[in-house]
Homo-oligomer: A and B are copies of this chain.
Amino acid sequence: MKPSVYIGIDLGGTSIKMGLVDQLGNILHTLESPTPVKAGYHQILAVFSQMAEQLFRKSQYEWKDIIGVGAGVPAFLDQQKGIVVEAVNLGWDHVPLKADLERMWMVPIMVDNDANAAALGEMWSGAGKGASHLICLTLGTGIGGGVIINGNIYHGANGCAGEVGHITVKPQGGRRCNCGRKGCLETETSATAIVSDALEQVKGMSTGPLKDEYDRTGTVSAKSVVQLAQQGDSICLEIITKVGCILGNTLAQMCYLLNPEVIVIGGGVAHAGKILFDPLTKAFNKAILPRVAENTSIVPAKLGNLAGLTGAAWLIHRKYTLNKP
């Protein structure tokens, strides 16, 4: 007899990732499928259903082996009620996702936002394994954050804890953010920020690989900037160094308040590795009292883009396995 498992879903604006996760947080099988954003809510539920069937065919598992399904959603949620209050990228407004999935699948469902799910995934079986107090930042197009306190995600007064993308990090001369303010963490250190920095630099270039990419495509990608920096391109290296400095300093300020055991940095930008983490750590150490950071480590995420579905599965793991109802 197979041991029972969880299904984790990471719903993104571009793709849906779904996986079978065992009771230790190991991923057994995964699938990915484009998100039919324009087709709307019910079509996305239909895709969920098809993907689950595919997973079962692929794995020999079936619904009777599933303890429950967790889903991470790029949205503001009422996590208790399982309602997606607002998901701008999906066009959802007050959608009873938990109730609808429970009706569709007849198993327990838990939902949380995508950044919180990623943080829980890294805590369960990733870079934060074994820690009880974590901050997890996901540096992608935007910046997601999750705060874990005493081994569980902390939501705050109305589910906004960890929404660190709009912390002001450059009050003077920062870029305008679509939140209406200037110099947010997101406008200065996300992949989008790296692209903006690079585009400003490209203007002054007459030649070079970044300029070539720009001439060919009309833009540059954060990935190219990171790769060129890793190959020693001084302009790209300066861009990544600046991002690292801002991040390190901002993380220090967070540590005074939260004194976490681990800070996990994930998302595309974290793939820069050493060229990001070296200046980050240097700026962090400069800004923090040694005593406050003596039990804190800053580490790159381990689960990559599977952190979200792993953490989504953890929501069920905690409720139905750790704290059996």
Residues of A near any B CB (own CB < 8 A) = 76, 133, 135, 145, 147, 149-150, 154-168, 179, 181, 249, 252-261, 287, 289, 291-292, 294-296
Cβ contacts A to B, 12 pairs, < 8 Å: A157-B259, A160-B256, A160-B291, A161-B257, A161-B259, A164-B256, A167-B253, A167-B256, A168-B287, A181-B287, A253-B253, A254-B257
- Chain B proximity of A223: nearest CB distance (Å): 27
CA distance A212 to B291 in the complex (A): 42
Query: Is A168's CB under 8 angstroms from B249's CB?
Result: yes
Set of chain B residues within 8 Å of A168, measured between Cβ atoms: 249, 252-253, 287
Residues of B within 8 A of A135 (CB): 257
Docked pose: A154 CA to B164 CA in angstroms: 19
Measured between alpha carbons, how far is A155 from B257 in the docked complex, in Å?
10
Beyond A167-B256, A167-B257, A258-B147, is A295–B158 a contact (Cβ under 8 Å)?
A: yes
Smallest CB separation, A43 vs chain B (Å): 28
Check if B166 sits within 8 Å of A256, measured CB to CB. Answer: yes
What CA separation (Å) do A74 and B154 show in the bound complex?
28
Q: Which residue of B lies closest to A86 (CB)?
A: B291
Question: A154 to B158, Cβ gap below 8 A?
Answer: no
Asked if B166 and A259 make an inter-chain contact with CB atoms under 8 angstroms apart, the answer reads: no
CB distance from A178 to the nearest CB of B (A): 11
Q: Which of B133, B163, B249, B295 contacts A256 (CB 8 A)?
A: B163
Alpha-carbon distance A118/B98, docked complex (angstroms): 40
* Chain B residues whose C-beta falls within 8 Å of the C-beta of A162 in the assembled complex: 257, 259
Give the docked Cα–Cα distance between A181 and B283 (Å): 13
Residue of B nearest to A262 (CB): B157
Are A259 and B163 interface neighbours, CB within 8 A? yes
Complex interface: chain B residues within 8 A of A296 (CB): 157
Chain B positions within 8 Å of A167 at CB level:
253, 256-257
Which residues of chain B are within 8 angstroms of A154 by Cβ–Cβ distance? 149, 258
Given A249-B168, A257-B147, A258-B257; A158-B289 close (CB under 8 Å): no
Q: Given A168-B249, A295-B158, does the pair A289, B163 have CB atoms closer than 8 Å?
A: yes
